[in-house]
Amino acid sequence: MLHYYEPQKDFGTPAAQSAEQVSLTVDGVTLEVPAGTSVMRAAALVGVKVPKLCATDALQPFGSCRVCLVEIAGRRGFPASCTTPVEEGMQVQTQTPALAKLRRGVMELYISDHPLDCLTCATNGDCELQDTAGEVGLRNVRYGFDGANHLAASKDSSNPYFTFDPAKCIVCSRCVRACEETQGTFALTIEGRGFDSVVSAGGVDFIDSECVSCGACVDACPTATLTENSIIEQGIPEHTVTTTCAYCGVGCGFRAELRGNTVVRMTPWKDGKANEGHACVKGRFAFGYATHPDRVTTPMIRDSTDQPWRQVDWDEAVSFAAARFRQIQEQHGRNSIGAISSSRCTNEEVYLVQKLVRAGFGNNNIDTCARVCHSPTGYGLKTTLGESAGTQTFASVEQADVIIVMGANPTEAHPVFGSRLKKRLRQGARLIVIDPRKIELVDAPHIQADYHLPVNPGANVAVLNAMAHVIVSENLHDEAFIAQRCEASAFEDWRAFISDVSNSPEALAAASGVDAAELRAAARLYATAATGAIYYGLGVTEHSQGSTAVMAIANLAMLTGNLGREGVGVNPLRGQNNVQGACDMGSFPHELPGYRHLSDVTTRADFEQAWQVELDPEPGLRIPNMFDAAVDGDFRGLYIQGEDVAQSDPNTQHVEAALAALDCLVVQDIFLNETAKFAHVFLPGASFLEKDGTFTNAERRISRVRKVMPPMSGKADWEATQAFAQALGCSMDYAHPSQIMDEIASLTPTFSGVSYALLDEQGSVQWPCNDSAATGTSTMHVDSFVRGEGYFALTEYVPTEERANRRFPLLLTTGRILSQYNVGAQTRRTDNSTWHAEDVLEIHAHDAQERGLKDGDWAGIQSRVGSTVLRTRISDRVKPGVVYTTFHHPVSGANVVTTDNSDWATNCPEYKVTAVQASKVTEPSAWQSRQREFDHRQRQFLQQATVND
């Protein structure tokens, strides 16, 4: 799927949605288009390009440039084709002598105020102004450059990724509109009038403005005014490969645009169904980590972690690891080894790791990082609805009337979905935010949440139960839906439970911290919506009652009939790019691909036959169980694919003790991450640019990842796992990831129709994809639930054991920030650090004052398991009693303080609630000092390895 570079096709104005068809002729060609289509778009559909400057199909038409004029039979004058809708029987001429003259006149004016340095311009050959001048046949400019012009205006290169060169601006407003319509940030305006109008980022440089660096304006700009620095430095691309973002669970489609093997630009793919041409600062700009000098590209081994690394070839590395693993098993039993797979790797790679464990290690000690994020989603949705996945497409939000956002912060963590959501809210959809923190959506440009329920960390279930109580007691539930679709006896039990006065908002107000009247009003709003949709994130799952909260969310949706159609649903927002896929691929210790429990004899038999081994029917260890067992000496060999548990998992000191206790730790990663510092074998990983495969996003959408450059280590991750498996004597012999997908499809009913051929043809496919849904399933549970009848689970509110007390009076909750991703291994190695150079402690002014903390002070944060030091930021986003931080930088040690409290059903850690005390300090914590020292020594070991070779 390599293509010579050409800009993505632009039809000038967005597609019209009408079912009614209108017939017209354009330059003598007759065609039919949906009513509401612009004349410009109709022309483009039959291959006629009307010259244009201010129009682009990502934005609503604006009608300012006047180069797109056409003639229409029976109409006077020359209407602008971008703002003129088609009419039945319309006859359009796009090329006449009169039009040519008019267009040339307009272009002449534009060019007279534009530098004529095309030959040395960064976008020479990729500029719409240049193309349009060519199209209209502009040959000379009569006005000269002596009059007033903007040619001397100075550049703004404050943003690390793009440059604003106002001398080249034609004031078409595409950037301003992109920032408003597509991104929803409203950072740009046109200041001044007439000749004096200029684009302004609110009167300051881009970097100091509201701009979130999504790049939509850069994409929209038809000139070189807004240009990516990578293009300025390296020139325009010569070929493109379509692939998928490797950052968050939105799963945006991208065109990697290259010169040779060098990516010069990532452009969001207009046909990508998850993003429809939009992107965020991470996916669009933060790809430089892939070629960062910190990449380790040679396999390394060592006998113990206090030794320098020894660089070896692949064969020696995997033989060393295999010999050690086998030796451990001989001495300590079959169950003494295991693996952790990565939600950042492809479906095929994750599938191979679980296959290696089940077929090669002969046990089920396989877990994945979803354990620490969305395992409660898997449990909760499987229990209530029957399938461990979100119910909708992202586009479904465009039909939602009332939207609940709970424990999620889409504008920071799922930015492209956040933009879609904001667009719907600007159109008038109502919004309920349930979050301890005042997230951006509560009060954003042109958006105001109807209700913000500032729940106390740990009390989600109380809020959800109270909402359900209100709906049932006020008879706002959808009787017919429940009668037709849900298990009657379970509903009756649940109704009795939820109706109890102990579940009323008034009774729960003290625990939840939410005003009862506000909560009642919010519940009524959701219950009475024609379409009500719930979006939730890790603020729901990462609690001791994460699974209960997910079930309570599903209950609310069933209760109000908000499932099985467009605009409704239960929508988990997944953190990492392939969390959904990793879960789908059987990465949990109790189930095989497709969420089928190991105890299912038929399923097990299918896999046993395909793999020619006998499978252990009993569940294996979860990640926290692995760590506990390691500390105890029962678990001694661990293979970790692309995860940094030493940084991302809670109670760092316990994790470090577990890792240090292992006889053999094999880490496969692109960098020597925190975990790799405890490793005996390092297998160099490949970035998403270096391999083929698929990712599955939060909408169950399977998208292709395509290799755009060869793997720097010589092997893609699936090849590394395969080599390790072979060294262990486990038969694996795939020539290409498509063969792995074929095996997955042959063994997994929800994937049986999936193949690379289908993905190439469709662009992407949402599972289930099989005989009854040949091109996939956009909305789940349409006529009935996957489970059969929907199940109302009882959702008892059990307060967490982690409570604020005299010693630890504050509740710490953790989260994410737009520019950084997860543990930051990738984004910290890009210019994204411009925006977030360190993690800080957000604290309310009242709490800060009590502790004598001022903005910028070092604050020591102590929990019952550990302490760390962060800089203070006084913030009104958190309420008194609650403090907040992110965990993007290893030295912050946010997880040194988080405890190993976890979700009752899945052991997903309770990252979102830790009782802490904060105080003013003058130096880093003891752990931080130790960490610095350890880090320094391990880096030396790496350097010595490089020197020795």
Partner 1 sequence: MSAQQTERLVRMANQIALNFGEERDLTLAARRTGEHLQKFWTPAMREQLADYAAAGGEGLSPAVRELYSRS
Q: Which residues bind partner 1 (CB under 8 A)?
A: 335, 497, 544-545, 548, 589-590, 597, 599, 618-622, 625, 628-629, 631-632, 634, 794, 796, 798, 902, 904-907
Applying CB under 6 A, which of residues 43, 122, 221, 945 lies at the interface with ligand SF4?
221
CB of 371 to partner 1, least distance (A): 12
Instruction: Give the total of residues touching ligand FES (CB under 6 A).
Output: 12
CA distance 641 to 660: 18
Taking contact as CB under 6 A, which single stretch among the options 47-55, 258-266, 284-292, 843-851 is the one that binds ligand FES? Answer: 47-55
Under rule CB under 6 A, residue 504 binds ligand SF4: no
Cβ of residue 708: shortest distance to ligand SF4, in angstroms? Answer: 16
Q: How far is the CB of 819 from ligand SF4 (least distance, A)?
A: 10
Contact 128, 188 (CB under 8 A): no
Sign of the four-CA dihedral 362, 368, 372, 374: negative
Describe the strand order of the beta sheet including 430-434 as a list of residue ranges. 451-453, 430-434, 402-406, 532-536, 570-572
Q: Is 491 left (phi over 0), alpha (psi -120 to 50) or beta?
A: alpha
319 versus 547: smaller Cβ distance to partner 1: 547
Q: Which is nearer to ligand FES, 169 or 389 (CB)?
A: 169
Asked whether position 698 contacts ligand SF4 by CB under 6 A, the answer is no
Q: Which stretch binds ligand FES (CB under 6 A): 65-73, 426-434, 714-722, 784-792?
A: 65-73
Judged by beta carbon, residue 68 or residue 553, the one nearer ligand FES is 68
Write out the E strands in 875-927: 882-886, 914-920
Residue placing its CB nearer to partner 1 in the complex, 827 or 906: 906
| Residue 213: contacted member of ligand SF4, ligand FES, partner 1, none (CB under 5 to 8 Å, by partner type) | ligand SF4
Pairing type for strands 810-815 and 882-886 reads: parallel
Closer of 777 and 795 to partner 1 (Cβ):
795
Which 10-29 residues touch ligand FES, going by CB under 6 A?
A: none
Question: Which residue shows structure tokens 């989603």?
Answer: 377
- The residue range among 64-72, 145-153, 529-537, 584-592 that interacts with ligand FES, by the rule CB under 6 A, is 64-72
DSSP type of residue 917: E
The binder of 905, among ligand FES, ligand SF4, partner 1, none, by C-beta within 5 to 8 A per type, is partner 1
CA 311/CA 302 separation, integer angstroms? 9
Task: Establish if 82 lies at the interface with ligand FES (CB under 6 A).
Answer: yes
**Residue 905 C-beta: closest distance to partner 1, Å:** 7
Residues in 150-169 that interact with ligand SF4 by CB under 6 A: 169
**Under rule CB under 6 A, residue 563 binds ligand FES:** no
Q: Binding partner of residue 386 among ligand FES, ligand SF4, partner 1, none, CB under 5 to 8 Å per kind?
A: none
Distance of alpha carbon 233 from alpha carbon 275, whole angstroms: 27
User: Using CB under 6 A, which of 49, 66, 565, 864 touches ligand FES?
Assistant: 66
Tell me the closest approach of the beta carbon of residue 307 to partner 1, in angstroms. Answer: 29
Among 7, 36, 63, 308, binds ligand FES (CB under 6 A): 63
The b/e string for 824-840 (b: 16+ C-beta within 10 A; e otherwise) is: bbbbbbbbbbebbeebb
Among 44, 80, 449, 698, binds ligand FES (CB under 6 A): 80
CB atoms within 10 A of CB 324: 21
β 664-669/681-684 pair status: parallel
* 331 CB-near residues (< 8 Å, 6+ apart): none
Binding residue (CB under 6 A) for ligand SF4 from 67, 70, 167, 279: 279
Do 555 and 384 form a contact (C-beta atoms < 8 A)? yes
- Residue 250 site contact among ligand SF4, partner 1, ligand FES, none (CB < 5 to 8 Å, cut-off depends on kind): ligand SF4
If the CB atoms of residues 7 and 619 are measured against ligand FES, the closer one turns out to be 7
> How many Cβ atoms are within 10 Å of 303's Cβ, its own excluded?
11
Cβ pair 894, 814 in contact under 8 A: yes
Note whether 569 and 391 are within 8 A (CB).
yes
Assess 39 for contact with ligand FES (CB under 6 A): no
Distances (CA, A) of 748 to 258, 285, 595, 604, 766: 36, 36, 9, 12, 14
From the list ligand SF4, partner 1, ligand FES, none, pick the one residue 215 interacts with, judged by a Cβ distance below 5 to 8 Å according to partner type: ligand SF4
**Pairing state of beta strands 366-368 and 337-341?**
parallel
Q: Which does 356 bind (CB under 5 to 8 A by kind): ligand SF4, ligand FES, partner 1, none?
A: none
Q: Which of ligand SF4, partner 1, ligand FES, none sits in contact with 629, Cβ below 5 to 8 A by type?
A: partner 1
CB neighbourhood size of 844 (10 A): 20
Three-state DSSP at 142 gives: coil
DSSP element (H, E) containing 508: helix 505-512
Structure tokens at 791: 């199940």
Residue linked to tokens 């940030």: 185
In the complex, least distance from residue 335 CB atom to partner 1, rounded to whole angstroms: 7
Contact 685, 713 (CB under 8 A): yes
Q: Is 277 in the site for ligand SF4 (CB under 6 A)?
A: no
- Considering beta carbons, is residue 36 or 749 the nearer one to ligand FES? 36
**What tokens appear for 670 in the block?**
């692109």
- Of 216 and 942, the one with the shorter C-beta distance to ligand SF4 is 216
Told to check if 91 binds ligand FES by CB under 6 A, we report no
Asked, as a colleague might, if the bond just before 768 is cis with ω within 30 of 0, I would say yes
Residue 618 binds which entry of ligand SF4, ligand FES, partner 1, none, CB below 5-8 Å type-dependent: partner 1
Binding site partner of 169, from partner 1, ligand FES, ligand SF4, none, Cβ cut-off 5-8 A by kind: ligand SF4
907 interface partner picked from ligand FES, partner 1, ligand SF4, none, CB below 5 to 8 A per type = partner 1
**Residue 872 bridge partners (DSSP):** 841
Instruction: For residue 856, count CB atoms less than 10 angstroms from its CB and return exposed for 0-12, middle for 13-18, buried for 19 or more.
Output: exposed
Between residue 406 and residue 445, which ones bind ligand SF4 under the rule CB under 6 A? 414-416
**Alpha-carbon gap, residue 949 to 945, rounded angstroms:** 7
The SS3 of residue 592 is: strand
The answer to the question of residue 337 lying near ligand FES (CB under 6 A) is: no
What is the spatial order of strands in the sheet that 681-684 belongs to? 310-311, 300-301, 681-684, 664-669, 637-641, 337-341, 366-368
For ligand SF4, which is the closer residue by CB, 283 or 360? Answer: 283
> Which structure tokens are listed for 350?
């994750």
Per-residue DSSP letters for 860-877? EEE-SS-EEEEEEEE-SS
Positions touching ligand FES (CB under 6 A) are 52-55, 63-68, 80, 82
Positions touching ligand SF4 (CB under 6 A) are 169-175, 178-179, 183, 185, 187-188, 199, 211-217, 220-223, 225-226, 245, 247-248, 250-252, 275, 279-280, 282-283, 414-416
